[in-house]
Structure formats: C-alpha cells, structure tokens
Amino acid sequence: MVEGAAQKARPLSMVRRGPFARLWWAGVVSSFGDWVALFATIALADQLGGVTGILVPLSARMLPGLFGAVSGVLADRFNRKTTMIAADAGRALLVLSLVFVDNLAMLFLVSFLMETLTLFWQPARDASVPNLVPAGRLVAANSITLVATYGSLPVSSAFFSFLVTVADWLPDLAGFGMDFGPAFTFDAFTFLLSAFLVARIPIPKPEIAGHRKAKGALDWRAPLRDLADGVRFVAGDRGVRNVIVGMATALFGAGIFFILGQPFSRNVLGGGNSGFGVLITALGSGVGGGMLVLATLGSRIGRRDLAFAISLILTGAAITLVTTMSSVFAAAGWLFLAGIGAGSSYVMGFTHLHEGVEDEMRGRTFAALYTLARTALLVSIALGGVAAATLDGLLPAPFDNGIRNALAIGGAIVLSAGLVTLWNLRGTLSGPEFSAETYRTLRDASDAFTSVRGQRRSPEDDE
C-alpha cells in the first residue's frame, strides 16, 4: 500500500519533505553554485590566458574521471553520508581559494582538486538514492534530479552576470580575483549549505559482506579486491555493460556538438553568435521536457533498458538530421527532439542501474559510468576540431564542409550506440517474460486511465 501510494504521488511532492527531498535540495543548491563558479572560472581563465586559457579549467574538470574507479570503492566501503559531507566541505574551501588565484597553473590545480572531490560526491549520492526512494518512484526521482541539475543553467548564467556587476560596487579587497570573488564566495556557501542538508539525511551505511571485510587494520588489499570485483561485475553483467558503454559512447558523439556548435551556427548556418544560443535553448528545452514527462509517466515504462536504447536512437538520428539543415530554426527543431532523446536516455539509464545493481556494488558501478563518460567526453572535445579540419574540403559538395561532416559523425556515433544497445537486447525482446512485462505495462496504463475517468465522474453517476 505504501509503495502504491508513492507511485501515485505527484513528482513534486517528493521534494517537499523527507530524506530524498533533503538530498535533492542539497544537489540543487550545490549545482546552482557550481554553474555560477564554472562561468566565473572560464571568465578568469580567459582573463589569464585568452581562448587557450579556457581549455585549462575545462581539461582539469575532465581529467579526474580517469581515476574515478577509486571513488566507487570508497562509496561501497565507507559511510556515504560522511563522504558527501567531507567532499562538500573540501570543495567549499577550494572554490573560495579561487578568489586569490592569479595564474593558470594554480587555476588548473584547484579545478582538478575540486572535480576530484565531485567525483567522490557523485557515486555516493547516486548509490544512496534507491535507499531513500520507493522502487516505483526511481524514474521520477532521477528525472527531477536531472531537471534541477541542468535546468538551473540559464538562471545561474544570469545570476553570474549579476554577481559580476556586484563586484564592481565592492572595494578591491581580494586583489586580482575580486572581479569574480562574489561568484566564488557564493559557490562556497552553496557547498556548505549542501553539507548541512546531507548531514540531516538518514543514509544507511553500506553493508560489507564477510569476504570483503579487511583482514586486520592495515589490510590495503581489501580496497584493491573491491576494485577488481567492480571491474569484473561491470564487464560481466550484460545489462549494466550495455547502459554504461551506451551512455559513454553517446557522450563521445554529443561532445563533438558542444565543441563545434558555435562555428556550426556561425559559419555553416549563418546564424551568428546568437544562433548558437537558439540551438542550445532548443536542446536544453528538449532535455528538460523529456525529463519532466518521464517524471510524471515514466513509472509506466516497464523496460528501462529498451526505453534507453530507443532514446539513444532518437538522439543520434536527430543530431544527424541537424547537420542536413540550412537554417538555425530548422536545426533547432531537430535539436529539440535530440534533447528529448538525450534526457530520456539519461533518466532511463540511471534508473536501470539503480534497479538492477545491488547496494554493495552500486557505488563502483556509477563510478565506472562517470569514468568512462568523462573520458569519452574529453576525447571527443580533443578530436572534434581535428576531425572538422581534416574533413574540410575532403569530400565533394554537399559534403565538403568539415564542421558539418564532423557533427554528422558525432550523430552517427550516438545512433550506432543506440542500435548496438538494441541489438544486445534482442534475446530479451521475445518469449513469455517479455510478453508478461508488456501485459503488465498495458494493464497499468489502463488502470491509470480508468482511475482518471473515475475521478471525473460525479457521485450521481456512481449511483
């Protein structure tokens, strides 16, 4: 009865009170502050080193993902609440130190350390969600979490501009970094507020099975055994492997758009700098819309893995079609569909991992996801410009534009990831188990429709 009631509750009711609500608000405030700090960091890097300098903090934010497996071991072996509080406190101190940074080397170091702590925070948070949310509400929980994380991007951009204006009114108390000092200070406050909220959440400690327990106080091999077990699990479980590899491959393809989107809008579509804003708005609106729909209706989708594969196919096909357009607004329409697919695949991928992985292995699973995803994104950003330059003029018209061709390759990679994921599911798309799952999904949808009709009927109708 409790779970059934939870499934019928509106998604927004999940963030009003309770343990998940506090975790959600902790993520909201820290994400909002981190977006503000990201804009400030990029602006500071541009001030220190121009366009080349901007690559310094961006690279520093991606490199820690190469070592993310260690964070998964920590999330599965130690107190996850303590891990998140320590990571928040550490990030608060680090981001505050950016007020005084006046060279790219220090900017790289602080950004690297901050992202390392973020990599410890995220698997601990994601591994805790199924312990705070009823199973039937995981789709809604992941949807509203991701909406809050990425939906705050445009608001945080405007707020950063406001803080820069505020800095002009203040006396120069912090030397070089004062232009962006209010932004970094604000981010430090959001991390401290996040730590306070997390401290009030009853997050259970991970249970350590007998074979995983340390043999003595100085058994350093226990974490190494955990690491090896995590690698074997992710590589050996087909469902988990499909989602992680699919998401990483999709990010590799999508990363090309983010590095080439601006020149594509300006040089290929003739939309100028403002055209890129239109494209990003369309993409972001699609992502948010897809997540909001899933927050309301996603619990009716029984096959998370199948929905994940179809969403990837939609994303890849839409991105590929974007490259065939000749105007900004036509491209924006396809990017809106790409956003719907991207948001849906993200939610369904996360939910499939939450539901399909036991608690003792969940931290290492999400750490593997973040490691591969960040690595793929870093490689795609590094290769996107090179691919565009290499393909420019290499083929006859209308395929003689390198930027258009590189973006088409990115879309094809995402599309291929979806098709391969769907192909890997072929053995589960038939037979009695799939038929029973389909029947349950249709029955639930019918019950929901009947319930809505029943609520609209008057008492006289019932008589």
Which CATH number does the domain housing residue 259 bear?
A: 1.20.1250.20
Q: Closest Cα partner for 246 from 372, 337, 365, 65? A: 372
Would residue 133 be called left, alpha or beta, if left means φ above 0 and alpha means ψ between -120 and 50 degrees?
Answer: beta
Residues 287 and 151 occupy one common structural domain: no
Q: Which amino acid is at 24?
A: W
Asked, for residue 340, whether it belongs to a domain, the answer is yes
414 and 374, same domain (yes or no): yes
Same-domain status, 314 and 180: no
Whether the predicted model's global pTM rises above the 0.75 cut: no
Which of 79, 82, 69 is CA-nearest to residue 116?
Answer: 69
* 182: in domain: yes
- Nearest Cα residue to 75 out of 65, 64, 87, 93: 87
- Whether the CA torsion 438, 11, 135, 232 is positive or negative: it is positive
Domain identity same for 18 and 79: yes
Q: Is residue 455 part of a domain?
A: no
Same domain, 42 and 148: yes
327 within 8 A of 321, measured Cβ to Cβ: no
What is the spatial distance between Cα 372 and Cα 231, in angstroms, rounded to a whole number?
A: 12
Q: How many domains does the chain have?
A: 2
pLDDT in tens, the chain (463 residues): 334 444 445 666 777 788 888 998 998 888 888 888 888 888 888 788 876 777 788 778 877 766 666 777 777 777 888 989 999 999 999 999 988 888 889 999 999 999 888 888 888 888 888 888 887 778 888 888 877 777 676 677 778 778 877 776 765 554 444 678 888 888 999 999 999 999 988 887 776 655 555 554 444 565 566 667 777 777 777 788 888 888 888 878 777 877 787 788 878 888 776 777 788 778 878 887 777 777 766 666 667 778 888 888 988 899 889 888 888 888 889 988 888 888 888 888 888 888 878 887 888 788 888 888 877 877 887 787 788 888 887 877 667 788 888 888 888 888 988 888 888 877 666 555 555 554 554 454 445 444 434 444 444 444 4
Separation of alpha carbons 278 and 255, rounded Å: 18
- Same domain? 68 vs 163: yes
CB 412 within 8 A of CB 276: no
- Domain finish residue from 178, 207, 236: 207
Q: Give domain status of residue 2, yes or no.
A: no
The domain in which residue 171 lies consists of: 12-207
- The verdict on residue 4 lying in a domain is no
